[in-house]
Structure 1
């Protein structure tokens, strides 16, 4: 059995009772494959570097409720394929981080994000490390005395693998190497420059990981396998699709859901019962408005759509203007022809390399401007 699987089997619901303190490695709220694998492998690394005398457990926590785990089809597929099952995982609603923080027994390392959402701001004092691959936000809080590694590469797992290679390469058995490799291949659309996600470091690190597996993997087959798993949403309702991969931006008294869905938006909107599902989702999640990011990927092509749903026409028009014109029209949005849904403005996105990582700063800038 792989050492990472043995480690995860020890990360169970009684772990917090066995340790007087916990070092939690926390992924982001979308809990996509990059976030989940980064949390697991980086926690495994930090655990391995302990001298055996520290009275603290190092555990990865997936930043979603356990009930949402089945929605993460590529995550469940890839982890199970490598022997890591749900009963070996810890989810956000299974660990009371606030209580640990109040008792002075919490340390946290953030992976695949570097700013806690407002609801978690009280936990900032416990953050002792950051490992992220997105642009550093201007007002990001300082990580006092901690390790901060922020570098724009295609996948956070590239940075995790780099850390393992430099600090404890013995951990990289074929299973651990494969967990990281597949995630990098998916995130970079099989290292495809046309997707505008890949960097030389992603190529270099994925090549090193591939050498640790026997036989060497076919990147095309890995990408196809994970793409199919991610796109397997046939059994999901519209509400479940909107919860599958979502992040939230807040400011100016508004709460904006930004949902990424692995299909064309015309198909999602067709499932929305004329927009009724979107309206119900807004109410259930207490969103002021919803930004929908649709995408499809193949080895050769990437497509992206974007829509803004908001019953308030004035608010909707403001967000549309920001996304169409922001940063000189960087998203390259053009109106999308489709069967209309009231309250929804939909666009084809010309800049297929602009993922949610580029959309979120535009939204946050608009929200910040509302408060100034």
Structure 2
């Protein structure tokens, strides 16, 4: 079944090389986790099979430099295990190499956003090209007039659940169902209610896919354990690699002189103590400061998820210049009822130009997906009712 997916990806490469018109780019988000990478492939395949959607010559693309694919250990190993050829993937973000790079504007392509519903800042010029959205994040209320063919935004645990529902509604077979099942299991933390991620739709999608896996399927617990082990294996990377392996950037409206807070967010699949202990706090802070300078950030937010004393834990860290850190000190001290921040580490850079402070969160379900709209609201209005 993986051969069919590889053949589809090869055809996509040929279409782009031949500058086929019209062309529809199905792009995942800039964080580029398993949900985003796998889902954009399956969505493009569905569009190719179902002309009723009206998206001609659909091609799936990454939204991060292709050379960074290997930093996503869980995705890379799953692709290898299932026989998916990652070298066939294309990207809309130019890295150090131009390998399989897609220039959307030059190709006059339309865009379907998957696993996000607002273009990143360096793609804002493509807004008029957005013709569809399939996402499970907070609705940014963008492209309502242009994305008229397909606009699905629902808060489920995994965006691949929405893809699965589309396959089921269309009566389409799912090639290599284990590949589509994996992000659903991983994103819902194996359907653990305490994580407050899983929805009935996620469970229904998994059950539907499990039937299609037949004897080849692996039970959810076993697959989750394997995927988690792969995903959490990040300490062999450098600090800059860890920061960019699942990175998203936002320009939040803020009650500051500049009026905007350029905010980078890095999802880190280990505990704060593991990262700080492996590299040293000083190294983490110095590398974070360099990363901020490179990306011209006002603040860099780490969202940690790992195991502490055998239980899932969530932690958060902020790195910023001292005056900006005072803003986030208010964010922490004014925590709503039911949530508390406990300081873990506080450390400045050697020259004192940046500060880094990490906290443990009393609620282990506070992921980046939940944090982003809360931060946005707090910076703009000083409230955070969504938390």
Matches within 5 A, 1:109-148: 109-137=112-140, 139-144=141-146, 145-148=148-151
Cα gap change, 1:146/1:297 in structure 2, threshold over 3 Å: closer, same or farther? farther
The answer to whether the 8 Å contact 1:27/1:111 transfers is: yes
1:217/1:122 Cα in 2 relative to 1: closer, same or farther (>3 Å)?
Answer: same
2: distance between equivalents of 1:77 and 1:96? 28
Mapped partners of 1:261, 1:280: distance in 2: 18
Shift of 1:273: 5.7
Gap change, CA 1:340 and 1:208, over 3 Å in 2: same
What's the CA shift for 1:58?
Answer: 0.9
- Tell me the equivalent position of 1:357: 369
Q: Which residue of 2 aligns with 1:262?
A: 269
Q: Call closer, same or farther: CA 1:9–1:297 in 2, change over 3 Å.
A: farther
CA shift at 1:341, angstroms? 4.8
Aligned length: 356
Matched residue SS, 1:152: coil
- Shift in CA distance, 35/143, structure 1 to aligned 2, threshold 3 Å: farther
For residue 348 of structure 1, the aligned residue among 360, 363, 386 is 360
| Residue 316 (str. 1) matches residue 328 (str. 2) | no
Unaligned runs of 5+ in 1: none
Q: 1:286 aligns with which of 281, 284, 296?
A: 296
- In the alignment, what sits opposite 1:208? 208
How much does 1:322 deviate? Answer: 2.5
What's the offset of the Cα at 1:72? 1.2
- Contact 1:323/1:362 (CA < 8 Å) preserved in 2? no
Matched residues in 2 for 1:13 and 1:265: separation? Answer: 44
Q: Secondary structure at the match of 1:354?
A: coil
Q: Check 1:20–1:296 CA distance in 2 against 1; reply closer, same or farther (3 A cut).
A: same
Per-residue displacement from partner, 1:35-88 (whole Å, max 9, x unpaired)?
Answer: 11110000010011138xx99421000100112111111121222222222221
CA distance in 2, matches of 1:258, 1:218: 33
**Contact preservation (8 Å) 1:129, 1:146:** yes
Q: What is the Cα deviation at residue 24 of structure 1?
A: 0.5
Residues in 2 aligned to 1:233 and 1:276: alpha-carbon distance in whole angstroms = 19
CA shift digits 1:190-244 (9 cap, x unpaired): 1111111100111111011011112242111100111011111132011111111
Q: Shift of the alpha carbon at 1:13?
A: 6.4
Deviates most, 191-200 or 340-349: 340-349
Q: 1:166 aligns with which of 147, 164, 169?
A: 169
On the 8 A contact 1:323/1:329 being kept in 2, the answer is no
| 8 A Cα contact 1:296 1:302, kept in partner | yes
1:358 to partner: Cα distance: 1.4
Please tell me whether the aligned partners of residues 316 and 358 of structure 2 are also in contact (alpha carbons under 8 angstroms): yes
Residue equivalent to 2:193: 193
C-alpha deviation, 1:14, in angstroms: 6.1
Q: Label 1:347 to 1:339 Cα distance change in 2 as closer, same or farther (>3 A).
A: closer
The 1:369/1:98 distance shift into structure 2, 3 A limit, reads farther
How many angstroms apart in 2 are the aligned matches of 1:81 and 1:117?
A: 32
Pick from 95, 100, 119: which aligns with 2:102? 95
* 1:63-74 equivalences in 2 (<5 Å): 63-74=63-74
Q: 1:146: Cα distance to partner?
A: 2.6
**Aligned CA distance change for structure 1 residues 143 and 109 (closer, same or farther; 3 Å):** farther
Q: Which residue of 1 aligns with 2:256?
A: none
Alignment partner of 1:153 is 2:156? yes
Contact 2:156/2:198 (8 A) holds in 1: yes
Could you tell me how far 1:182 is from its partner in structure 2? Answer: 1.1
Instruction: Find the aligned partners of 1:87 and 1:14 in 2 and give their Cα distance.
Output: 16
Q: Distance in 2 between matches of 1:329 and 1:130?
A: 35
Query: What TM-score comes out, normalization by structure 1 length?
Result: 0.89
How far 1:369 moved relative to its partner? 4.7
In structure 2, the partner of 1:306 is 316
TM-score w.r.t. the length of structure 2 is 0.86
